[in-house]
Amino acid sequence: MAYNKYKIIFSLLILLLGFSCNIQIKVSNDKEEIPSESVVKIVVENTEEKRYNGWWIYGEGQHMFKDEESLEEWGLEFPNENMEELKELYLAICEMEYFPMECEMTGYKRKDVLENETTLIVSKFKILYIQGCGE
């Protein structure tokens, strides 16, 4: 009986924390093509937007961001932008893949707990400096 009491209190505290801190927790159980195999994803999002300075890197169809403060590398998602146009913009400026472009990104982070992958969801960005150009 006491176990259920603590379980309910713990659940309520987690819900209170989630609603008060702009944190969203999503758990999904997606079935793959093979019915016996399923994928469980646990995603945590802090939807409070922040500014991050660092380097935007594009290569092999993947947009990445290296944070200047923590030196962590995150995937990038641009929900308000056309991805093909972003690829063309990056390549027009850098003239090649995997060339770092210093940027200020405004957005929030989403973390897939099981995969240990962090993605920066970008609402806007500003290009600050292109490495190697001296301008």
pLDDT > 70: what percent of the chain?
66
Domains and CATH numbers, the chain: 2-43 (no CATH), 49-130 (2.40.50.140)
65-105: pLDDT as tens digits: 999 999 999 999 999 999 999 999 999 999 899 999 999 99
CB 82 within 8 A of CB 90: no
Q: Residue 24 corresponds to which tokens in the numbers above?
A: 């969203």
At position 31, the amino acid (one-letter code) is: K
CB 104 within 8 A of CB 126: yes
Beta strands at 50-59 and 62-67: parallel, antiparallel or unpaired: antiparallel
Helix %, strand %, coil % for the chain, to 5?
25, 50, 30
Residue with tokens 């600050």: 128
Residue with tokens 């259920």: 4
pTM, full prediction: 0.70
Would you give the DSSP letter of residue 51?
Answer: E
pLDDT > 90: what percent of the chain?
54
